[in-house]
Amino acid sequence: MCTNLPAPPAHQSRPVSGVPAATLGGRRAHRNGAAPGTRRQGLPRPLPAGQDGRRAAASRPTDQHAAGAAALAREVARWITTAPSRRGLHAAEGLRRLLEHCPELDRTHDLVRQFAAMLDARDAAPLPDWLEQLTTARLPALAGLAKAIRENQPAVVQGITTPFSSGVNEGRITDLKLQKRIMAGRAGVPLLRHRVILMALLRRRYP
């Protein structure tokens, strides 16, 4: 199944010659009073020159694999949620090849486009049947989404059938969080307030 990606292999470090593996991972050291002629436990020998760099380099492929997989997942999600008429040639071809090799992703794409059609037409009549398709898709994530929508279905129906949206409020909240993270520990509330007001003004001029 394309939804079950293999986990990257765990990195196994080589033990330093003459030092047990348990000693290398220990953090507690025996204090004064150790028997003469014995080494203090918990303190590994200094690594040979360049070995730290080799270990760091050996661990990089795992990090790069995880980062690459996350970036690819975000890109594919953007392809799926973008209307077919607005997809570029690269996105359309890449998505087509993915859907051919992954039935689960193909099913998900079909359900996403059905919901987008409901939003475009502002017609919530197909919603119950769509929720049933989510439940029977045999994909746990989609079944959980169907359960969450059913718990608040009247609000979802209003969101589909009316022109009102909380998107503006969500955008302002995103702007506020972004400024807060940028300025964390660097400035006080007065400057934060000034920047938030300025950003709101720019949003009005350049929507």
Assigned token pair, 197: 């007001």
Asked if the model's pLDDT at residue 92 lies above 90, the reply is yes
160 falls in which pLDDT band (50, 70, 90)? very high
pLDDT digits (tens, 9 = 90+) for 25-80: 444 444 445 444 444 444 445 555 555 555 545 555 667 777 777 888 889 999 99
Domain ranges of the chain: 68-161, 167-205
The alpha carbon of 180 is separated from its chain's Cα centroid by a whole number of angstroms, namely 21
Taking only the tens place, the pLDDT of each residue in 143-157 is 999 999 999 999 999
CA distances from 35 to 20, 41, 141, 177 (A): 19, 11, 59, 58
Greatest mean pLDDT among 130-134, 190-194, 195-199 = 130-134
Taking the C-alpha atoms of residue 129 and residue 114, their distance in angstroms, rounded to an integer, is 11
pLDDT of 176 strictly over 90: no
Which of 25-29, 88-92, 141-145, 184-188 shows the lowest mean pLDDT across its residues?
25-29
The token pair at 121 is: 């037409």
Top pLDDT among 170 and 61 is at: 170
**Spatial distance between the Cα atoms of 39 and 22, rounded to a whole number of angstroms:** 14
